[in-house]
Structure 1
């Protein structure tokens, strides 16, 4: 009992600090897994196979399905409805037997019984405008969603199917064998939503002044899901945000509209002479040889005249689109239409714009030109644009489909517009036209990996905007502009490698942060030459195919001989941020007089002070041994150094030798989670500057701090880390020496001392 009491008393008397140190020491001795920031991504990436190889390229067994559509579509302008009938031919190019096919019914997200509104968490507002109150509490739900008239086999027998929200399962009578096709048909209709008042990625806009509608129509037909060897059927529900995974195929489409409508759509117009006037055909022929300025096919005067005369007749537009992954169209009697030819490495591609008078002159000034520039810049950084045209439509949203996209931007009623309106319109147009490359051709799964289309596209968009106008004001994608997001509340951040529906701050997560990551890779880590070749290799390898994130990561490394696993892990798999600072700077001077420290060191080896061989010593300015006369020494005056140089260097070599007078020992710290290069700028007392950049691998053995020595013949006045804000550093207060402002930690320490 006495021993136990003494032991208890001893424990009470032990300092909590000492106890904590002992526990920490024992914990430090335990074994641990590899926690290095430079650990390879082998555990995170899927195992390579013969379809998705270790190099990031498609393998020799790579295959993908093909789906062909023949559609007859009728637009009911009076009732704002779409009626459609389609014949679908599904080609099973896989090695699997398929028991059923999954079909996307995107319009069902707007059905009266849709569950999409039910997953939103919203409290009651205390203030509503009359329109908000009416819409929220009084109006009936919009009767949206597909109305399926029938699903039949080609012999007109009823096909077996089941609808689960935005997905339809077509049950096959027998499994579809590898190499076989299955053809069936669906008839449907739906009420078109007003995308201005009800939202949505397609729909109509009503113009009350002239009582006309403008239609931007997409996701309007039942379409097949992707089936592959990565995830099987990609049949995640469509909740309204994350977009689509689709198969490539051929589309034979007929669209019936009022006779006075002008229509643009995916595919080659097959009956131009039937739907265009002779004047329009002649203007279009001229546009096909005009590469400098857009040519008006339908003028504003003609469009304004058409607004006033609503035809009761109809006409049918026929299109054929080869090897596209989706289909969309836009139509209105209000449309002005202009066109311009674009030279893509000797092949002519057409840039078209369709817009209302309300969007002019902004669209007339910039839409087609921005479309053309997008095709040129993206082709240079990826592959030559393979289709015959690209269309920008005044759709007052930002949405993309093969060969056509819907964009925002309108001037003031008097036709004037400011730079903000102009650059927003140009930026969104370039972004949406750019989606022709990602994901309409490099066909990633947008619903699972949103960043693979939005992030990559936002990055190339930056390059196209800079090409469009010198000094273009970039915003999203620059490292300094992502800082606010990256240093935000960690509970409201998600890694880029997260499913799109599940992330916070969707724009920053899926667009801005991955675009910033690629900007940093190109401009700071890899350099344009290495990056551009690797990026182009990825795009070329996976055009008209279904890449995964691993294919992108592996290709970028495979084509550049750079190990970037540390970068992918930090930027894409974590929510860490960059914070690199200067912890300490010591200034040393050189002398040939033995220091006390050196004398003691020699004495430990039995060498007396008088027997120390000729040597050079560095003395810190904060040392007790530092004297003012050290400042006047120069290395060339030291006899031991002079003797060594005379005996070992020729006169030519002597002329190239430097004469360091000062030695700076700089200790860098890294409070941030991400490992990044250290970019250092030295400003000397004579006003000159010098920069050094150390690869991120400098942190490989010490993730907290590293030390570098800088010999120089000139005194350093100032040291700055990341002077151009290239690395998205979230705290610049520790980036300077001497410190210009207190950092947060210094302020915290002072506050603690004071309290």
Structure 2
């Protein structure tokens, strides 16, 4: 019994060590990395096909909203009332509905305020000390006033942290609708102090607020075919799984506020001045330069007085999964039409305050338009009527609107890092319109399907902005520092968001890098781009899972990628392939003259022994000298003579039998992740040649392989992965002969506590203006 228990324990430890990457043959050097994913992926069914496409019985729920909301600028409070029409398209009767109350993450008893480790250090950030010793002056979290059915009858409900269950009077049958109402309010949190995605930022200089109102209303959770209700609690990191629906939202704010929101405003003629309305109409025909709808001068005038009256902005959005808005009197608003998108000409728009004017006026709206065009090329044509970028010292996305950073110095200058950081975050957040706002993956469960896919297309979009754009994520070599970390600091990409230590590298950079490796190195651009676009088309406005993505990429390309998904997504092993040994062989030179000379030299060496030399020196008299009759043909024969016929035959064969150099190279898989072998040969004549061997070379020995090569020229050096395209973490063992002369360096740096998006670091623009 003890022996059996030990074997079971060892097996379990192997499975735990390899996380979700189940190995068929864990004690062998093969039969693991190239096995199919069938034992890991969910089985295909009528809802999700084996090809990766939605199945013939695929379904998803629908949630439509009519919301009335008022923003209390004096008390920083939201008051709302909503009517939800929920359509049960599933085959299941539902006894209750689950809603998300994400604003409860700010409540004083919120789970996320206590479940992370903390330590007392000699130097403690002031904000951390305050969080331990001080309580917020206001109580945060959603106050549910009432929940009723369409007739006004109270419905029982239960709140569990950030989730609310509404119990139905009778089961909601398949194909039926249920209409109910929720009234609620909450205190808006100071986003700069409390953290989180939505809230307000206060500007003491002009005593005004910028409100970014996000995940602000009770929203339906997703009920799906693959997991039922997705009601995993919101703790601040894993984002949102949401149902598609239609929205009608009436937003009441101070009359001097400017509002930007998801969808189309239906009453610009009521909330804009005559001049602003005229500019808006002109912007709908402008495709080159953004037009300021609300000008800088109008914004500055609004800061001097505060209106006591109110206005209601009416917005409508069709087939979206969420709704967000910005409201403030300290906003410039510009807009222009985006051309170059098949079947659509959406309005690209930006809202920004005085701190961001020098950057956003020049770049933001044009970056929005560039993003829509580029993403549309690689995925699907952008289908919505508008895309908005709001400067809010932030980085967060919602349908048709996102919140970004990028502020200048007071003199209007900015650093290069701030410029490219701003462009990058706008591309990234606008790009989220495609992933996950349209291709609607479950961010709470698989962050990489949202962040990783989006970061990959962000990289493509950045590279199409300018030739030397300093992208931070995408190129393979940029992920190697993360892949080098100790295993206890790593986890597979296929890990739930709350359990990830290195969130940025794991959920953003590593999947984006993997897709770039697939595109550039493994599949090639043509096959990859077709398959990626097919995935986007198949799952637009639907709820895909990782299996749907993996299967579609293979289905549309005819490339078996299971080995790559296993290694890159289900495991933590890095790429580290070493050139262990190089042997050089020469094909035999069959020149008869050369061969005869070599034999003659060898024969003479054999005869040149010490005894013969001393006999000759002593003047020895040999028998054949005394009796010449002993001499015959062989005493006079030239055993090394070459016939003219042999010489002629050799000369005739030289043109087709050129001498070859043969090389035998042993490659060792030090890191564990298999990859193609990309070999650069450098010859003694200075020329170079690139050769690529499929990753399948590792299928029968995943640890070490030997390969023979024939070259017509002598090789001077060999290098693996010369263009750094496989994320190999050790480039020193990629070369032969080894480079033993190396110098290590270190960098000392200072940390910065500046507001996100503020201009930091060197500012050559500012220095140039001072000269």
Does residue 383 of the first structure (1) align with residue 380 of the second (2)?
Answer: yes
Query: Displacement, 1:341?
Result: 0.8
Query: Which string of whole-angstrom CA distances, capped at 9 and with x for unpartnered residues, describes residues 116-167 of structure 1?
Result: 1121110123334666544431344651100111011111111011000000
The answer to whether 1:441 aligns with 2:438 is yes
Instruction: Identify which of 43, 49, 55 aligns with 2:45.
Output: 49
Are the aligned partners of 1:665 and 1:709 in contact in 2 as well (CA < 8 Å)?
A: yes
Contact in 2 for aligned 1:452/1:549 (Cα 8 Å): yes
For 1:235 and 1:81, the matched residues in 2 are separated by 26
Is the CA contact (8 Å cut-off) linking 2:336 and 2:349 kept in structure 1? yes
Match of 1:608 in 2: none
Matched residue, 2:183? 187
Q: Secondary structure at the match of 2:452?
A: helix
Distance 1:135 1:638 in 2: 95
Matches within 5 A, 1:231-246: 231-246=227-242
SS at match of 1:591: coil
Q: Distance in 1 between matches of 2:153 and 2:657?
A: 90
| Distance of 1:134 and 1:373 partners within structure 2 | 43
Alpha-carbon distance, 1:706 to partner: 1.8
Residue 334 of structure 1 corresponds to: 330
**Structure 1 residues 194-203 or 118-127, which shifts more?**
118-127
Partner residue in 1 for 2:468? 471
Please tell me whether residue 71 in structure 1 is matched to residue 67 in structure 2.
yes
Q: Does the CA-based 8 Å contact 1:110-1:142 persist in structure 2?
A: no
Contact 2:344 2:382 in 1 (8 A): no
The equivalences for 1:154-165 within 5 A come to 154-165=150-161
Q: Give the 3 Å change call, closer, same or farther, for CA 638–431 of structure 1 in structure 2.
A: farther
How far did residue 33 of structure 1 move?
Answer: 11
Distance 1:130 1:243 in 2: 28
SS in structure 2 of the partner of residue 67 of structure 1: strand
Q: Equivalent residues in 2 for 1:31-430 (5 A)?
A: 35-128=31-124, 133-140=129-136, 142-343=138-339, 344-345=341-342, 347-430=344-427
State the shift of 1:338 in Å. Answer: 0.6
How many corresponding residue pairs? 664
Distance in 2 separating the partners of 1:33 and 1:381? 39
> Partners in 2 of 1:303 and 1:200 — Cα distance?
27
Q: Deviations for 1:343-365, whole angstroms, at most 9, x for unmatched residues?
A: 11253111000000111111111
1:566 paired with 2:563, answer yes
Is residue 325–residue 402 contact of structure 1 (8 Å, CA) maintained in 2? yes
CA distance in 1, matches of 2:499, 2:26: 37
Q: String of CA shifts for 1:464-491, please: whole Å, max 9, x gaps.
A: 1111222101111221111111110101
Q: Deviations over 1:384-422 (max 9, x none)?
A: 000000000011111000000000111111110111000
- How far is the alpha carbon of 1:659 from its aligned partner? 3.2
Q: Give me the whole-angstrom Cα distance separating, in 2, the residues matched to 1:389 and 1:680.
A: 48
Q: Deviations over 1:666-722 (max 9, x none)?
A: 222211111100000011112111000111001111112222222222211111000
Question: Partners in 2 of 1:315 and 1:384 — Cα distance?
Answer: 35
| TM-score, with structure 2 as normaliser | 0.84
Asked whether the 8 Å contact 1:112–1:141 carries over to 2, the reply is no
Task: Provide, for residues 357-391 of structure 1, a one-character-per-residue CA deviation record: whole Å limited to 9, x for no partner.
Answer: 11111111111111111100000000000000000
* Residue 757 of structure 2: aligned partner: none
Q: How far off is 1:515 after superposition?
A: 0.3
> Contact conserved, 2:30 with 2:700, CA < 8 A, in 1?
no
Higher relative contact order, chain-length normalized (CA < 8 Å, sep 6+): 2
Residue 736 of structure 2: aligned partner? 737
User: Residue in 1 aligned with 2:504?
Assistant: 507
Structure 1 or 2, whichever has the larger Rg, is 2
Is the Cα contact below 8 Å between 1:496 and 1:571 reproduced in 2?
yes
Q: Are the counterparts in 2 of residues 112 and 142 from structure 1 also a CA contact under 8 Å?
A: no
Quickly say closer, same or farther: Cα 1:102–1:641, change in 2 above 3 A: farther
Mind listing any 5+ residue stretches in structure 1 that lack a counterpart? 1-28, 595-635, 646-653, 744-755
| Whole-Å separation in 2 of the counterparts to 1:141 and 1:204 | 15
SS in 2 for 1:482: helix
Counterpart secondary structure, 2:111: coil
The residue that corresponds to 2:719 in the other structure is 720
Separation (CA, whole Å) in 2 of partners of 1:446 and 1:741:
47
Deviation at 1:641? 10
| RMSD after superposition | 2.1
* 8 A Cα contact 2:145 2:182, kept in partner: yes
Between 555-564 and 697-706, report the one with greater CA deviation.
697-706
1:574 and 1:131, CA in 2 relative to 1: closer, same or farther beyond 3 A?
A: closer
Q: Aligned in 2, Cα 1:642/1:177: closer, same or farther, shift over 3 Å?
A: farther
TM-fit CA distance, 1:32? 7.2
Partners of 1:30 and 1:493 in 2: CA distance: 21
C-alpha distance in structure 1 between counterparts of 2:651 and 2:707, whole Å: 23
| Alpha-carbon distance between aligned partners in 1 of 2:234 and 2:94, rounded to the nearest angstrom | 23
Structure 2 residue 522 is matched with structure 1 residue 525? yes
Q: Matched residues in 2 for 1:131 and 1:63: separation?
A: 47
| TM-superposed deviation, 1:742 | 8.3
Tell me which moved more, 482-491 or 562-571: 482-491
Kindly indicate whether the alpha-carbon contact (under 8 Å) linking 2:263 and 2:316 is maintained by their aligned counterparts in 1. Answer: yes
1:483: which partner in 2? Answer: 480
| 1:544 paired residue among 541, 545, 556 | 541
Alignment of 1:619-630 (within 5 A): none
Correspondence 1:614-693 to 2 at 5 A: 639=649, 659-693=658-692
| Structure 2 residues without counterparts, runs of 5 or longer | 1-24, 592-645, 743-771
CA distance in 2, matches of 1:276, 1:733: 64
Distance 2:693 2:587 in 1: 26
Q: What do the CA deviations read for 1:155-187 (whole angstroms, capped 9, x no partner)?
A: 111101100000001111111000100010000
SS state at 1:361 partner: helix
Give the 3-state SS of the residue equivalent to 2:560 in structure 1.
coil
